[in-house]
Amino acid sequence: MARVLAPGYDVLLGGRDTARLEALAAELPGARAWPVDLTDHDEVAEAVGGIDSLDVLVHSAGIGEIGTVADTPAEVWRREYEINVVAVAELTRLLLPALRRAGGRVVLLNSGSGLVARPGWGPYAASKFALRAFADALRAEEAPNGVRVTSLHVGRTATDMQRHVVEQEGGTYDADQYLRPESVAGAVMVAVTAPDDAALTELSLRPF
């Protein structure tokens, strides 16, 4: 996503691994590392302090821990909600003045699990349903301020997170079975570059 966005934007590369962020920033003119722990709300508030105007906010952080309701303790539910929902809501809240100033666009990488809950995916799906509700409320509230909000419901994608999930399920990871990250980035760009007279509210992307 950073590589796709970089030609048209000055990109802040958010993440936890400073070395990886700085290496990527060195490849992309106008990009810079923006290391921040999204669950540390004081750190997040400090990190957004100098952002006065923001054209695009892409939420792509998230975790997925599978397990049945019977086998999933409360701390797993809390961790999923803290990262997949609360961190998203707080970062968005803090950046709303900058987004309003720019008439910005917010893209939330959701999941097919935000539309249909499957056995063994209760906590993750619940967090993604909540993320969809957050996007719907944000869209309705911020439309008068010129901020557009898109929920991107993405199927299984060839990432480290997907590898971890497959291993949790006891399967064999094969990247060719899943969406390429570049394809997801292309869908993000569809949302970001939609005409000013259009609001792309939801988009669903699945492996073919």
CA 150/CA 79 separation, integer angstroms = 24
CA 34/CA 21 separation, integer angstroms = 7
Quote the distance between the C-alpha of residue 124 and its chain's center. 14
Which candidate in 9, 81, 124, 178 is catalytic? 124
DSSP one-letter string for the chain: -HHHHTTTSPPEEEES-HHHHHHHHHHSTT-EEEE--TT-HHHHHHHTTT----SEEEE-------B-TTT--HHHHHHHHIIIIIHHHHHHHHHHHHHHHHT-EEEEEEEGGGT---TTBHHHHHHHHHHHHHHHHHHHHHGGGT-EEEEEEE--BSSHHHHHHHHHHT----GGGSB-HHHHHHHHHHHHT--TT----EEEE---
111: tokens are 């999941």
Respond yes or no: is residue 124 known to be catalytic: yes
Catalytic residue ranges: 124
